[in-house]
Amino acid sequence: MVHAACYADYKAKQDNPLRLHYGVIEVRGDCNASNAESQLRSALSRDGWQLLNVVSVFDADGLDQRRDSAGEYFLRY
């Protein structure tokens, strides 16, 4: 069985000086917020980012409207 494409948008930060970003990732496996969260945490911490929260989980239909906001962090991780 093939999963439908699943995406999540999130907010993350870096300290000293405070830097923030909003991004979109593709969620592998179960399409829910907690799965997205665990996936994000490991991906972000490699670059020194800290996950603040997962805003929502959505499918391919929601991608386009978030492309501009996420900017360079659109599907980066």
Partner 1 sequence: MDWIKEGTAQVNTSSATEAREIGSRIVIAGIAAIVLILAVTAVLLFINLPDANAFNMRVERLFVENDNLTSNAEIKLLEILAGSGTAFSDTLASYRFVIFVLLVFATALLVAAVAFLVMLIALNRRMGRIERQGIEVNSLTISRDQKAVYLNDFEFKLTDAAIETLSVLAEARMDDEVMTGAEIEGVISGRDAADCDEAAGATRIKRLRDTLGNQMMSELLVKNIARKGYILAIDKDVIRMI
ω into 17 cis (within 30 of 0): yes
Identify whether the C-beta of residue 62 lies closer than 8 Å to the C-beta of residue 5. no
Site stretch for partner 1 (CB under 8 A), options 25-33, 34-42, 65-73: 65-73
The DSSP output letter for 59 is -
> Could you give the string, one character per residue 28-57, with x where binding to partner 1 holds by CB under 8 A and - elsewhere?
------------------------xx-xx-
Site residues for partner 1, window 1-20 (CB under 8 A)?
Answer: 9, 11, 13, 15, 17-20
Strands 19-26 and 50-58: unpaired
Identify whether the C-beta of residue 12 lies closer than 8 Å to the C-beta of residue 20. yes
Q: Shortest distance, CB of residue 22 to partner 1, whole angstroms?
A: 4
**71 belongs to the binding site for partner 1 (CB under 8 A):** yes
